[in-house]
């Protein structure tokens, strides 16, 4: 598939892309439907993944899923909150790049591959040390490396790229999709009454992991008050933040929101956030900031939902997958 050269040329002219081309199915008429339909009903693609387990510097493990065809170009894809490497949106993106002659690596955050990790903590929105481990492990065999992140994985990707730390020169471009750039306000948004179906789903699985982890490390983690937690912010305040070295939820959000790291990004990077995404707050659409950034491009379609962007016709490529490929595969 060839790139849309009109869109590509715009990337070199302005950081805020306003001629976005996405139009979805008319039957999915709001952000909730555009979010839920692909999550529940998208066909699970069969792909020849090879799993590899690697050891982290602190003695834990990460499970990686590879699609290889001896390419010199590699795409590394990060999933979202309580997702995993083989979710439909991960498989769809992987398939599109693999069919276009890229090797692909989708990886699982700690505790997300179907087996609980062995350290007394999990993953979180700012755990860039694990992405660094994956990149350093994978980049050795490739001339060019590209990063794609969905939702929490998008925040992780942007924070990693913006941090003032050495990175592989092989990383050429990145795309972040449905990104909660500002964690605190996005957490408030997803915990609102109209979004309880999402936040309760996340809380259910997160609480189970805390219970399992407390059995493994009773001296390090207590489940006191766990059942009283009703919102994601309360969970982050009592568990996510302290478990990963932050004072509380606010400290965690302040230190890990990728919005504060965009100025440090030095490679071409595209952020795709739908304006009707039920997970994202107003702060996740920083139009004014976009004009001050040299390498970060922002595209905010009116519709699309959260990790949605369903095509109008069933057999078409998802718009976000085609858009990510256009951006990464272009010469801009």
Q: How far apart are CA 243 and CA 314, in angstroms?
A: 43
Given a contact cutoff of 8 angstroms between Cβ atoms, the answer to whether 240 and 116 are in contact is: no
Residue 74: strand pairing partners: 103, 145
DSSP string, 24-65: --TT--SHHHHHHHHHHHS-------EEEEEE-TTS-EEEEE
Residue with tokens 């605190």: 184
Q: How far apart are CA 12 and CA 62, in angstroms?
A: 37
Given a contact cutoff of 8 angstroms between Cβ atoms, the answer to whether 30 and 300 are in contact is: no
Residues contacting 196, CB < 8 A, separation 6+: none
> How does pLDDT run across 193-248, given as a tens digit for each residue?
999 999 999 999 999 999 999 999 999 999 999 999 999 999 999 999 999 999 99
Q: How far apart are CA 186 and CA 270, in angstroms?
A: 20
Between vectors from CA 119 to CA 118 and to CA 120, what angle results, nearest 5°? Answer: 125
Residue 17: strand pairing partners: 299
- Cα torsion 20, 22, 27, 28 to 10°: value is -80
Which domains are delineated in the chain?
5-181+262-326 (3.40.50.1820), 183-256 (no CATH)
Given a contact cutoff of 8 angstroms between Cβ atoms, the answer to whether 73 and 101 are in contact is: yes
Residues labelled as active-site residues: 151, 277, 306
Question: pTM value?
Answer: 0.94
Alpha helix ranges (H) inside the chain: 5-11, 31-41, 88-99, 128-139, 152-162, 183-190, 196-216, 232-235, 241-243, 249-256, 287-290, 319-329
Render each residue's pLDDT in the chain as its tens digit; 332 residues. 334 434 444 444 458 887 778 999 999 989 999 999 999 889 878 899 999 999 999 999 999 999 999 999 999 999 999 999 999 999 999 999 999 999 999 999 999 999 999 999 999 999 999 999 999 999 999 999 999 999 999 999 999 999 999 999 999 999 999 999 999 999 999 999 999 999 999 999 999 999 999 999 999 999 999 999 999 999 999 999 999 999 999 999 999 999 999 999 999 999 999 999 999 999 999 999 988 999 999 999 999 999 999 999 888 999 999 999 999 998 75
Residue 150: strand pairing partners: 177
pLDDT score for 21: 82
* Phi and psi at residue 190, to the nearest 5°: -70, -20
* Phi and psi at residue 75, to the nearest 5°: -110, 125
Can you say how many angstroms the Cα of residue 143 is from the centroid of all Cα atoms in its chain?
A: 23
Q: How far apart are CA 160 and CA 146, in angstroms?
A: 13
Q: How far apart are CA 277 and CA 16, in angstroms?
A: 18
The β-bridge relationship of strands 296-299 and 16-17 is parallel
Edge to edge, the sheet with strand 103-107 lists 16-17, 296-299, 269-272, 171-177, 144-150, 73-78, 103-107, 61-67, 50-55
């Amino acid at each position: 598939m060839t790139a849309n050269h009109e869109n590509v040329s715009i990337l070199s002219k302005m950081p805020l892309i306003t001629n976005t081309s996405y139009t979805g199915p008319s039957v999915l008429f709001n952000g909730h439907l555009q979010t839920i339909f692909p999550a529940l009903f998208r066909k699970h693609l069969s792909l020849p993944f090879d799993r590899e387990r690697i050891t982290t510097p602190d003695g834990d493990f990460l499970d990686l899923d590879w699609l290889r065809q001896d390419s010199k170009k590699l795409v590394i894809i990060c999933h979202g909150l309580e997702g995993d490497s083989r979710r439909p949106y991960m498989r769809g993106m992987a398939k599109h790049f693999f069919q276009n002659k890229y090797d692909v690596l989708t990886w699982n955050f700690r505790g997300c591959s179907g087996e609980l990790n062995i350290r007394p903590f999990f993953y979180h929105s700012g755990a860039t040390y694990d992405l660094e481990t994956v990149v350093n492990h994978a980049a050795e065999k490739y001339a060019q490396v590209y990063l794609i992140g969905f939702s929490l994985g998008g925040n992780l990707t942007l924070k990693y790229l913006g941090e003032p730390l050495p990175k592989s020169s092989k990383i050429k471009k990145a795309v972040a999709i449905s990104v909660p750039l500002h964690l605190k306000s996005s957490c408030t948004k997803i915990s609102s009454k109209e979004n309880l179906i999402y936040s309760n789903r996340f809380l259910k699985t997160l609480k189970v992991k805390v219970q399992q982890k407390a059995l493994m490390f009773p001296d390090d983690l207590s489940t006191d008050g766990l059942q009283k937690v009703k919102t994601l912010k309360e969970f982050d305040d009592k568990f996510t933040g302290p478990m990963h070295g932050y004072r509380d939820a606010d400290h965690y959000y302040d230190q890990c929101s990728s919005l504060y790291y965009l100025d440090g990004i030095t490679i071409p990077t595209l952020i795709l956030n739908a304006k009707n995404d039920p997970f994202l707050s107003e702060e996740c659409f920083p139009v004014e900031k976009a004009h001050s950034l040299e390498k970060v491009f922002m595209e905010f379609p009116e519709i699309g939902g959260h990790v949605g962007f369903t095509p109008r016709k069933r057999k078409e490529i998802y718009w976000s997958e085609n858009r990510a490929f256009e951006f990464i595969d272009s010469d801009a």
